Structure 1
Amino acid sequence: MYSGTISPNPTRDRYTLKRVSLIQVLVMKVLLATLIAPLASLFMAVAAQAELRTQVVEYNHGNTILEGYLAYDDEFKGPRPGVLIVHEWTGLGTYVKQRADQLAKLGYVAFAADIYGKGIRPDNPKDAATQAGIYRADRQLLRDRATTSLAVLKKNPLANPEQIAAIGYCFGGGTVLELARSGAPIAGVVSFHGNLDTPNPADAKNIQAKVLVLHGAIDPYVPPEQVAAFEKEMNAAKVDWQLISYGGGVVIALPIRRLVTTPQRVPLTTKRLIGDRLPTCCSSLKNCFLLLQRKRLP
């Protein structure tokens, strides 16, 4: 058996330490590659799968080709609440598509309807008024176009047909009210600065939906007399309804800040901007879905 001391060798010791350090670095690199790479791949796969999906949807009403816009987020799985969106008097355009995208990111499946027909997108007030006037003069045609659009949404496998609401802006606000008056089986409708008049006020008895109207109090196209007639119509038919009138406002816009995927948990946040006399309501869709929870009046 050998016994004794080992004389220190600085050159050898430095070499040994350097070699050990290199081995440790290599081991760490292998461990990192083994542990982190799969996690990174998983993250990238999830990110790639969970994204906003949009598509143009062609459908027909009689011989008329319509071109709607569907949006959903595939991060959310299975059937979910659906929202039908109806455009302003200029036809289906960027604004309504943005609203559809916002709703999709929050867990809804959103379908922006096309009332006018494929390619009919007025770009000036005169043409817009002409197109809107066609349907305001023929409310049955307006209802039929809206009903056809609703059917497209309800048939989509991502939409829960028992949780469908319809919202509309300006011309679209009046459209969703007519859809409700037709007796459409939907849970709620919201009109943003839409016309409230109808040639058939007795049809309010057909309304199954809960109704929310967001109204600009000085809107010259919806004078106080029209508001009063609407209120009388809703009360006579015992509709579950609310009307919020914004003082000093003509147009109500909806920047959706934060909503969740289930109507029962939509939070209440309201912000109002009067800089250009266009009041802004962030709680509007929230109010719509709160209405869905209330019992219908006897």
Structure 2
Amino acid sequence: MTLPASPEHFSYTADGVVYTASRFHRDAARGRVLLMPDWEGMNSGWAQEIGRLYSQTCDAEVIVTDHYGQHRPHPGFDEAAYINQQLYRDTERSRSIFRGMVAALQAHWQASGPLVVVGFCSGGAFSFETGRSGAAVDAVFCVHGDPRTIDPIDQPGDYPVFTVVHGEIDPFVPQSSLDAFAEEMRAHRIRWNLHIISDAKHSFTRFDNRRSGYGIAYSKRAEIETRHLVAAQILSLIEANATR
């Protein structure tokens, strides 16, 4: 399998805000993956490398983007935390933002096939808010993020598949969050999965993480397993669509 070429960088506008993105293109890609990185946003070296890896493993076109906007390419930790906390608390606004981003990116995809949103940490929470927003996506993944929302889905609808990928010994995502998510999904018979990876801590996909200590550590096994879960979801969606 050939590696994706260097990413193509572009900008796009959603609801009057200009955002930046990186695209990893593959010839004859079988699906599309929209990556929402953690608090550092799309311009970190890790975010760009994870985009390349997902394109390779999933045989998919990958777009990496974030919600900070073109005017804020490298937010600091405190700034990012403030922005993200505001979005956590205002789900109407956050869902509008991410629904608008998905709609604006429709014109930029070069591949077709299932569209899967994969988010990490805070990006995982926002991936799930995208799924709750009514955006035109087929599946959403929350990877070492908190799947719980302050505004759960309250009516049946045509929702994507929701998948949580959780590290067994991640102390920052409590069992109560997983339970609340499961209850939300069961209440309206929404398709969902909970994948718990043994011995994995928080931020287990961050292969650039040099802070291996309480609650946080990179796990090569967990990171690879997560990519293959996303690849399997794309294949499952393709097969399901073919039998309709």
**Under TM normalisation by the shorter chain, which class is it?**
0.7 to 0.9
Match of 2:76 among 105, 123, 129: 123
Q: Tell whether 2:226 aligns with 1:284.
A: yes
Whether the 8 Å contact between 1:173 and 1:191 is mirrored in structure 2 is: yes
Q: Which has the higher contact order (CA 8 A, sep 6+)?
A: 2
Whether the 8 Å contact between 1:176 and 1:190 is mirrored in structure 2 is: yes
Whether the 8 Å contact between 2:38 and 2:123 is mirrored in structure 1 is: yes
Q: Tell whether 2:35 aligns with 1:85.
A: yes
Q: Tell whether 2:44 aligns with 1:102.
A: no
Aligned sequence identity (%): 21
Moved more, 180-189 or 213-222: 213-222
User: Shift of the alpha carbon at 1:234?
Assistant: 1.2
**Residue of structure 1 in register with 2:204 after alignment:** 252
2:76 aligned counterpart, secondary structure? coil
Deviations 1:156-184 (A, max 9, x none): 35221x41111011011011111111122
Whether the 8 Å contact between 1:164 and 1:187 is mirrored in structure 2 is: yes
Match of 1:67 among 20, 28, 31: 20
**Residue of structure 1 in register with 2:120 after alignment:** 169
Residue identity in the other structure for 1:194: G
Residue identity in the other structure for 1:283: E
Structure 2 gap ranges (5+): 208-215
Any residues of structure 2 matched to 1:118-267 within 5 Å, and which?
A: 118-120=70-72, 121-124=74-77, 126-156=78-108, 158-160=110-112, 162-203=113-154, 205-206=156-157, 208-248=159-199, 249-253=201-205
User: Shift of the alpha carbon at 1:152?
Assistant: 4.0
1:282 aligned counterpart, secondary structure? helix
- Number of aligned positions between the proteins: 223
2-structure distance, mates of 1:51, 1:224: 38
Q: Which one has a bigger Cα radius of gyration?
A: 1
Deviations 1:57-100 (A, max 9, x none): 21123332211111213xx24x6411000021122222222122
Residue identity in the other structure for 2:218: L
User: Shift of the alpha carbon at 1:105?
Assistant: 4.1
Q: TM-score, normalised by structure 2?
A: 0.79
Deviations 1:225-276 (A, max 9, x none): 1111111111112122111223442233177xxxxxxxxxxxxxxxxxxxx7
1:151 aligned counterpart, secondary structure? helix
CA RMSD of aligned residues (A): 2.8
1:198 aligned counterpart, secondary structure? coil
User: Shift of the alpha carbon at 1:290?
Assistant: 3.2
1-structure distance, mates of 2:116, 2:133: 15
User: Shift of the alpha carbon at 1:215?
Assistant: 1.2
